[in-house]
Amino acid sequence: MTAHDRAALASATRVVVKVGSSSISGEAAWRIPVIVEALAAAHARGAEVLLVSSGAIATGMPYLQLDARPNDLATQQAAAAVGQNVLVYRYQEALRPFEIVAGQVLLTASDMEDPTHRSNARRAIERLLGLRILPIINENDTVATHEIRFGDNDRLAALVARLVGADALVLLSDIVALYTRPPDEPGAEPIDVIAADDDLSGYAFGSKVVNSVGTGGAATKASAARLASSAGIGVLVTSADRVADALAGAPIGTWFVPSDERPPATGAVATLGG
């Protein structure tokens, strides 16, 4: 059942939620139980929930005694190897009171482009959902290279939503909605709804890198939202602090209206360049 408007999120059958590094790593780690509580509420009403979570590198940095995100690939991979383990542990501990088990799924860009790997990933995720396991999906930073990365987990979340035929995608950010220009600039106005055929070229969404630990931003969220909505998946962009309201169908954030063209969930997805 495709969510055609925000209110339908309250009854959506299959929802993908994406959260970025800055929302759940470092001093923001306190937010993990808050997000998990909202996911558990949707899970309790019978929804199938998938979480795409960034944060492996940022979570691993303190264990490698790093004060800033490393620039070299090998150290990024090492930080991810340590951080992914800690990150999933934190999610599982937060899920324990709700008696929900997490299942880790790590993907690379090549996995989504290779038909066999893509089919295997979809089959594994479908089985996890059938067992009422909550898949926690991230890019496999330990083996990914600069040349074959997704670029950001907003795009990964959109591709996962298309892969599993989700009813809706929720992209959590640091602000409650997208704005017509960076919100700290004069004349910036929050955007309530973006129709499937709206031209986004008139919006100045700002730079891609918005903090010291994440790689996403308003522009990447808009691009990912359009990628999902073009496949008939409704997308909400809002603040991580409003995740419970978002999944309850509250009138918040920026809603990308899904296209009427909804391809079957056969595992075929757009390539990274498309």
Catalogue all structural domains in the chain, each as residue range(s) with its CATH number.
6-256 (3.40.1160.10)
Q: Burial letters for 93-129: b for 16+ Cβ neighbours within 10 Å, e otherwise?
A: ebbeeeebebbbbbbbbebbbeeeebeebbeebbebb
Nearest Cα residue to 6 out of 193, 261, 244: 193
Query: From CA 12, how far away is CA 6, in angstroms rounded?
Result: 10
* Banded model confidence at residue 249, pLDDT cuts 50, 70, 90: very high
Q: Binding site for substrate, residues?
A: 54, 141, 153
Query: From CA 86, how far away is CA 63, in angstroms rounded?
Result: 10
What is the pTM assigned to this prediction?
Answer: 0.90
pLDDT score recorded for residue 211: 39
Judged against a pLDDT cut of 60, whether residue 271 lies above it is answered with no
pLDDT score recorded for residue 121: 96
* Banded model confidence at residue 19, pLDDT cuts 50, 70, 90: very high
How many whole angstroms from its chain centre is CA 252?
A: 18
Judged against a pLDDT cut of 50, whether residue 148 lies above it is answered with no
Note whether 166 and 235 are within 8 A (CB).
no
* Three-state DSSP class for residue 199: coil
pLDDT score recorded for residue 206: 57
Q: Binding site, residues?
A: 18, 54, 141, 153, 173-174
* pLDDT (average), residues 66-95: 94
List phi, psi (to 5°) of 34: -65, -45
Judged against a pLDDT cut of 90, whether residue 66 lies above it is answered with yes
Q: What percent of the chain has pLDDT over 90?
A: 66
Q: Which residues in 150-269 belong to E strands, given as ranges? A: 168-173, 193-194, 234-239, 254-256
Judged against a pLDDT cut of 70, whether residue 177 lies above it is answered with yes
* pLDDT (average), residues 204-231: 71
Q: Binding site for ATP, residues?
A: 18, 173-174
pLDDT mean across residues, the chain: 88
